[in-house]
Chain A
Amino acid sequence: MSLPCGIRNYSYNTDTAIIRTRTQWVLFAAFLLLLFAMPLYIPRFGLDIINLIGITIIAVIGLNILVGYCGQLSIGHAGFMAVGAYTTAILTTTFGWPYFAALICSGISAGLIGLLFGMPSMRVKGFYLAITTIAAQFIIIWIINHWTDVTRGSIGMGVASASVGSFQFNSEIKQFYLITGITALCVLFATNLARGRAGRAFVAVRDNDLAAEVMGINVFSYKLLAFFLGCFFAGIAGSLFAQWRGNITAEDFTFSQSILYVGILIIGGLGTSIGPILGVGTMGLLLYWLLPVVLTPALEGMNIMPSGFSSGLGPMIFGTIMILSLVLEPRGLAHLWSLFKASYRLWPFSY
């Protein structure tokens, strides 16, 4: 981590601070202002997309803890999201709990299910673990579809918007502040987690788990911790999704969704705190806005494709971007971002 020219650290406090210089504070304040003033200058359907992006950021941050820092590939993240979403739906709709209690419970229940399916990580890794999480995805979705007494199967469950006391987050703008606030908290938590003891242990386990064990890191418990935290975030994301969407079915949490999250994370940059945000930001705009709103109508207007092609266009483009990003820039957008920062810091004397 290179510091800007002329900046020194004189105490541990300045050394460990996330935001170090006055310029950074000014930029950060401007960013926060722009972010929270978004409802003023973004149309309503744009806000809809921003909310979905916020929820996806939380899910991908969880995946980043699991895959990016700890190196345990999980391709069942949408399944764990479904656990969170359905916990919220059952607790608030069936039992009438207040939303925020259900939110925490959703995180914990998704985390516990994650622990269960993370157990094989004690003995296997790589492809074996990936296939276990794929199995987890399908088993969870199967149970949701067939345990009709509790989850109402394919009819889906209605969920009321979040509320505190008598205040309801019932408009898109109120939802925006709720989701953005929780996303900001999650980003902060994940950033600090990665810089702390657990984060360093995760990185050691990812780079070489045998060496980590020899150095006195309890590999298995840290792997399980990563599974718990990663799935906890997924549960939070699922819970927010449930109350934002208002009605959930198992169709909202498909296997393609799981692959999508892995792809977004790779495009953004594995094992960096900025990566998930950049990845979800660009890919979210592409998949939720550019593709359905701009590109598909344009192609449909040209009448060269068979009707009904549009649902395949997104996966095709996303798959191409995913492959290209792995071949050309395996460290993702986050690496490009750090290259950019390094070059403007030294500009115009780059040597």
Chain B
Amino acid sequence: MTQLLQYTITGLAVGMIYALIALGFALIWKSSRVANLALGQLVLISSWFTYGMLTQAKLPIWLGLIVTILFAIFLGWLIERFTLRPLIGQPALSLIAVTLGLAYFLEGLVTVIWPVSVAKLPALFPQEPVNIGTAVISQEYLWAAGVSLLLFAILSVFFKFHKMGIAMRATADDQLAIQACAVPITRIFSMSWIFACIVAAIGGVLVSSIGGITNALVETGFKSFSVVILGGMDSFLGCIIAGPIIGLCENVGAGYLTGIIGPGIKDLIPFVIIIIVMMIKPYGLFGEERIERI
């Protein structure tokens, strides 16, 4: 029972981070119909950048994090401007492939700059474990979940009330109409990439402050894909609900199945969920079913 509670709480907390990263995917997909397969690599490179700022350049933590956010903004702008914008109007296959190329490039770049494969961030959150009921939880998980929730709140206020947020929602709804309202649509695309990079960077810092930085961070991206698939690609609500579900399945499943099936089952669970969702309800829990006409 204690174990179950522990798995549940860590699962939910980690799931919130996955949901945060998945939100970046949904943002880009909604505004520009680009499927960003470089999600894990964005997480990877911003975690390494944080490591570079905090440990190698020895900046104070608050300054290092601000520099990381600035870096994410710059990265998002750069990616959109030089890889995605020339491809506006190209078939979906090219758009997916260009993000694959980007993934390959970023992973190579990380290896070239930081050839060491394992590193640890300085502690961002208090370390001592807390007791919830009978379970003992490492405090970092709760902080990470809290930060994620806070970001969700900020982003939803932004999308609800800010002019840019409203324009971004309108773009997701109807691209032609928003162009007719004289909103430069390329700026919206740019903004969505910038936001995606920011949430990927924050998600990356949260994940790597708990588990350290390795190249396995790329797998966080795959876990976020399963969040996106389960929740439905064009739904923010889907992300927020599916994230904790994936985290829960992963942790509870890993906790109880490792003894039966063998170690490493944890990495497999998100992919099995993807296959199951594809077979049963391919557009996810909250996704819009696409109706095509000739």
Instruction: Name the prevailing secondary structure of the A interface residues.
Output: helix
B109 on the interface (CB 8 Å rule)?
yes
Nearest CB of B to A65, in Å? 15
Complex contacts, A210 vs chain B, CB 8 Å: 292-294
A322 on the interface (CB 8 Å rule)?
yes
Complex contacts, A308 vs chain B, CB 8 Å: 115-116
Contact A123 B282 (CB under 8 A): yes
Contact B86 A327 (CB under 8 A): yes
Given A119-B279, A138-B222, A309 and B102 touching (CB < 8 A)? no
Given A210-B294, A306-B115, A322-B101, A130 and B267 touching (CB < 8 A)? no
Roughly how many angstroms separate A327 CA and B92 CA in the complex, as a whole number? 14
Contact B101 A263 (CB under 8 A): yes
Contact B100 A263 (CB under 8 A): yes
Interface residues of B in 265-289 (CB under 8 A from A): 267-268, 271-272, 274-275, 278-279, 282
Interface digits, B86-113 against A, CB 8 Å rule (1 contact, 0 not)? Answer: 1100101110111011111111111111
A40 on the interface (CB 8 Å rule)?
no
Contact B92 A138 (CB under 8 A): no
Roughly how many angstroms separate A314 CA and B108 CA in the complex, as a whole number? 7
Nearest CB of B to A303, in Å? 14
Contact A322 B264 (CB under 8 A): no
Complex contacts, A280 vs chain B, CB 8 Å: none
Q: Which residue from chain B places its CB closest to the CB of A123 in the assembled complex? A: B282
Interface residues of A in 116-130 (CB under 8 A from B): 117, 119-120, 123-124, 126-128, 130
Contact A319 B282 (CB under 8 A): no
How many residue pairs link A and B with beta carbons under 8 A? The number is: 153
- Cross-interface CB contact of B111 among A67, A130, A315, cutoff 8 Å: A315
Contact A128 B267 (CB under 8 A): no
- Cross-interface CB contact of A323 among B105, B262, B271, cutoff 8 Å: B105
Roughly how many angstroms separate A139 CA and B271 CA in the complex, as a whole number? 7
Tally of A interface residues using CB under 8 Å = 54
Roughly how many angstroms separate A318 CA and B103 CA in the complex, as a whole number? 11
Interface residues of A in 55-101 (CB under 8 A from B): 67, 71, 73, 75
Contact A319 B94 (CB under 8 A): no
Complex contacts, B96 vs chain A, CB 8 Å: 73, 126-127, 130
Given A138-B268, A319-B103, A326-B98, A311 and B111 touching (CB < 8 A)? yes
Given A210-B294, A327-B86, A130 and B274 touching (CB < 8 A)? no
Interface residues of A in 231-260 (CB under 8 A from B): 256, 259-260
Closest 4 CB pairs of A and B: A312-B111, A319-B105, A316-B108, A315-B108
Residues of A that sit less than 8 Å from B by CB: 67, 71, 73, 75, 117, 119-120, 123-124, 126-128, 130-132, 134-136, 138-139, 142, 145-146, 208, 210-211, 214, 256, 259-260, 262-263, 266, 270, 305-309, 311-320, 322-323, 326-327, 330
